[in-house]
Amino acid sequence: MSAEGALDLTQANDGGVYFVDAADFDALVSAAEQGHLYVCRTDLAGCQDKGELLRRLAAALKLPSGFGQNWDALLDSLRDLGWLHGAGHVLLIDHANDLRQAAAKDCDTLLAILHEAAHFAMTQERPFFAFLSLPEHPMALPSHRHS
């Protein structure tokens, strides 16, 4: 693929957690749609704690009303996501820095859960990407890696 080629989010082994600028979200949505991946988008602007984080993620992921509102339930849900039809899943989490500044431990726990969910998806050969807008810590997107 050429360097200017479209971003490919269909490769399960590229899945994981990436920090990006929110300006990249439109390109990520386009790439996800091209790959027939389900896109879940949530905004953490003003998010202060675990409870609010879990409520916002539950809404974005269309979790069942019986969702347990705890970390284990979130991880279990992210490992499945079968009710969100698609060849894989892309989570876009905007304003992640708001959570990081208000509740660093909760942010770290979220990142660990997202990493675990991505690793599990790889074992299932299912693309799973979590993109968090943390513009001061951008990481290269999968299409930018060189073999």
* Residue boundaries of the structural domains of the chain: 12-139
Query: Which of 2-6, 31-35, 118-122 has the least mean pLDDT?
Result: 2-6
Nearest to 90 by CA among 66, 46, 60: 60
Q: pLDDT per residue over 116-133, tens digit each?
A: 999 999 999 999 999 999
pLDDT at 143: 45
Out of 3.40.630.30, 3.30.370.10, 3.90.1150.10, 3.30.930.10, the CATH code matching 12-139 is: 3.30.370.10
Whether pLDDT at 110 is above 50: yes
**d(C-alpha 66, C-alpha 32), whole Å:** 28
Long-range contacts of 99-103 (CB under 8 A, 24+ apart): 99/44, 99/47, 99/48, 99/53, 100/134, 102/47, 102/48, 102/49, 103/48, 103/49, 103/50, 103/53
pLDDT at 89: 96
Average pLDDT over every residue of 12-38: 94
**d(C-alpha 126, C-alpha 120), whole Å:** 9
Q: pLDDT per residue over 45-103, tens digit each?
A: 999 999 999 999 999 999 988 888 899 999 999 998 888 888 999 999 999 999 999 99
pLDDT at 138: 52
**d(C-alpha 17, C-alpha 78), whole Å:** 13
Query: Which of 23-27, 31-35, 74-78, 80-84 has the least mean pLDDT?
Result: 80-84
Average pLDDT over every residue of 11-30: 93
pLDDT at 136: 63
